[in-house]
């Protein structure tokens, strides 16, 4: 009897130990399924409140922008030496003739970071950049690689990083979407799966804003429908949907639809003002390149991104070349001259504007594509896809300004020093936002899924002390 009585203490201890284990296994997000977008506390000291991701879709050439390789130019016209290893390219490139860069590189700022003459405006901001030269990924084609850069996997179905951030932190503005996507041209390759919530509740997916004066379709009420009538319709819909949700409590799509109706109602007043750039001063519009046709489109996107983070939007993706516009297989000089010119002034304007407004410290800006380009030529004048070594840079949001991290080999083919996989980039972005990529989990099919799947390390050299 005494032994049995003593056993009750073990039961209490076991309960406490289980609670402790659960506390370390699940995120400290204070998640509320009934209020999924409610603001939550970060797990770590947060450096960045918001992220602006400047996504150069198609694969910008690191070799011609930020990663000069004198040895590549010296060996130009020769076959790639076997010592660099076998390469299987996306397009089955027949030629492996090393191709030099025609760009002129120079060191800039006090940091002495290298930038080519394709990006003269961005070059003025190198002392705010953390340039990671040693990135690598797993995909060879655009669809899989864009998907991995967004979701961590080359196969569709996982949540995007913006969805994870929204799940972990909630919203800072109840009248605007927390995760916004903007494109400058065609649909992003792979489409909405790149900003999908995956197996997370659907409420965490991104909201796409369109080009032009009506960035959100069907936001305004139809003619003749006043506010009271609109409110009444939404209340009636909510009543019907809540009845159905009692029968189907596991249906996150239904819950997301309910929340989206309410958000759309609140956005009718807030969203038009947030994306309206007509009220900006002429000086600001010129800063972003809105006074020139070649830079106007991406300039509008970057300016809207600033206005959104200013109003509490956490995660904004700004696609340049959506539909793989940076994909330079045949004429890299013509392609990149156009793409760089269209983005240089808008990006530099964004960095300058954020800094002048005191927003750069709390806003993490990311530049990069899904991969880089090969050091050997394809079809004579272009470069093939290169996921084995490429450049991504960050600015603000707690990054170590004026710093170069890692390196590729002598010809820029493979990352060799302080290699940074896509999962490492994601871990670092989340860390700067105050989220631990190993503790930010969601139970799916009996497994605690996390943003970086089974790997990923924070790139400590990229962090400010």
Q: What are the residue ranges spanned by the domains of the chain?
A: 33-217+282-462
Sign (positive/negative) of CA torsion 312, 53, 284, 275? negative
280 phi, psi to nearest 5 deg: -70, 150
Q: How far apart are CA 304 and CA 176, in angstroms?
A: 13
Q: Which of 295, 391, 402 is nearest to 65 (CA)?
A: 391
Cα separation, 380 vs 329, in Å, equals 9
CB of 360 closer than 8 Å to CB of 128: yes
DSSP alpha helix (H) spans, 123-226: 142-151, 161-169
Residue 450's alpha-carbon distances to 138, 163, 167, 316, in angstroms, are 18, 12, 11, 21
Total-model pTM? 0.86
pLDDT digits (tens, 9 = 90+) for 6-27: 554 554 444 444 434 333 334 4
DSSP letter at 97 equals: B
Look up the CATH number of domain 33-217+282-462.
Answer: 3.40.720
- Of 50-54, 112-116, 210-214, 389-393, the range with the lowest mean pLDDT is 210-214
Sequential DSSP letters for 310-331: HTT--EEEEEESTTTTT--SS-
Average pLDDT of the segment spanning 205-233: 69
**pLDDT value, residue 239:** 75
Comparing 87 with 111, which gets the higher pLDDT? 111
364: three-class secondary structure by DSSP: strand
> Hey, what's the torsion of the CAs at 65, 127, 405, 412, to 10 degrees?
10
Which regions of 261-304 does DSSP assign to beta strands (E)?
A: none
Encoded tokens for 306: 């600033």
Residue 41 has pLDDT above 80, yes or no: yes
Residue 443: its pLDDT value, please?
Answer: 95
Q: What is the pLDDT of residues 399-430, one digit of tens each?
A: 999 999 999 999 999 999 999 999 999 999 99
Dihedral class, residue 184 (left if φ above 0, else alpha if ψ from -120 to 50, else beta): alpha
Q: Parallel, antiparallel, or unpaired for β 179-183 and 207-209?
A: parallel
Task: Give residue-wise pLDDT tens across range 242-287.
Answer: 777 677 665 656 666 666 666 665 666 667 788 889 999 999 999 9
**What is the reported pLDDT for 51?**
98
- Give the separation between CA 230 and CA 278, rounded to whole angstroms: 28
| Whole-Å CA distances, 247 to 36, 114, 254 | 20, 60, 11
């Amino acid at each position: 009897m005494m032994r049995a009585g003593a056993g009750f203490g073990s039961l209490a201890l076991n309960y406490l130990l289980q609670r402790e284990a659960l506390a370390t296994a699940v995120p400290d997000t204070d998640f509320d399924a009934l209020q999924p977008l409610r603001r939550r506390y970060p797990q770590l000291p947060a450096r960045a409140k918001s992220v602006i991701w400047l996504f150069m879709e198609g694969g910008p050439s690191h070799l011609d922008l930020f990663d000069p390789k004198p040895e590549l130019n010296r060996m130009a016209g020769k076959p790639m030496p076997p010592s660099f290893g076998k390469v299987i390219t996306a397009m089955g490139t027949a030629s492996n003739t090393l191709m030099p860069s025609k760009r002129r590189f120079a060191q800039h700022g006090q940091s002495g970071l290298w930038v080519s003459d394709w990006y003269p405006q961005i070059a003025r901001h190198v002392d705010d950049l953390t340039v990671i030269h040693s990135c690598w990924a797993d995909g060879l084609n655009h669809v899989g690689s864009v998907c991995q850069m967004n979701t961590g996997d080359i196969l569709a179905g996982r949540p995007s990083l913006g969805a994870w951030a929204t799940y972990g932190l909630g919203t800072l503005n109840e009248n605007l979407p927390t995760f916004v996507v903007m494109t400058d041209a065609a649909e992003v390759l792979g489409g909405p799966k790149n900003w999908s919530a995956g197996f997370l509740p659907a409420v965490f997916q991104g909201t796409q804003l369109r080009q032009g004066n009506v960035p959100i379709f069907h936001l305004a009420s139809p003619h003749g429908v006043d506010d009271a009538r609109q409110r009444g319709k939404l209340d009636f819909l909510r009543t019907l949907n809540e009845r159905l949700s009692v029968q189907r409590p596991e249906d996150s799509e239904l819950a997301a639809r309910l929340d989206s109706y309410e958000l759309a109602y609140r956005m009718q007043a807030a969203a038009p003002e947030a994306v309206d750039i007509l009220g900006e001063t002429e000086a600001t519009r010129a800063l972003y390149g809105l006074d020139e046709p070649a830079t106007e489109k991406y300039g509008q996107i970057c300016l809207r991104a600033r206005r959104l983070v200013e109003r509490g939007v956490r995660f904004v993706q700004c696609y340049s070349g959506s539909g793989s516009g940076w994909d330079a297989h045949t004429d890299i000089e013509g392609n990149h001259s156009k793409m760089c010119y269209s983005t240089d002034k808008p990006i530099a304007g964004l960095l300058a504007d954020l800094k002048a407004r005191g927003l750069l410290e709390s806003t993490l800006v990311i530049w990069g594509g899904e991969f880089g380009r090969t050091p050997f030529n394809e079809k004579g004048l272009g470069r093939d896809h290169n996921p084995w070594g490429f450049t991504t840079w960050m600015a603000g949001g707690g990054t170590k300004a004026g710093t170069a991290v890692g390196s590729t080999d002598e010809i820029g083919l493979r990352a060799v020093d302080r290699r940074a996989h896509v999962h490492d980039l994601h871990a670092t972005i989340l860390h700067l936002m105050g989220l631990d990529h190993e503790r930010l989990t969601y139970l799916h099919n009996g497994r605690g899924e996390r943003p970086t799947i089974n790997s990923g390390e924070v790139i400590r050299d990229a962090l400010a002390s």
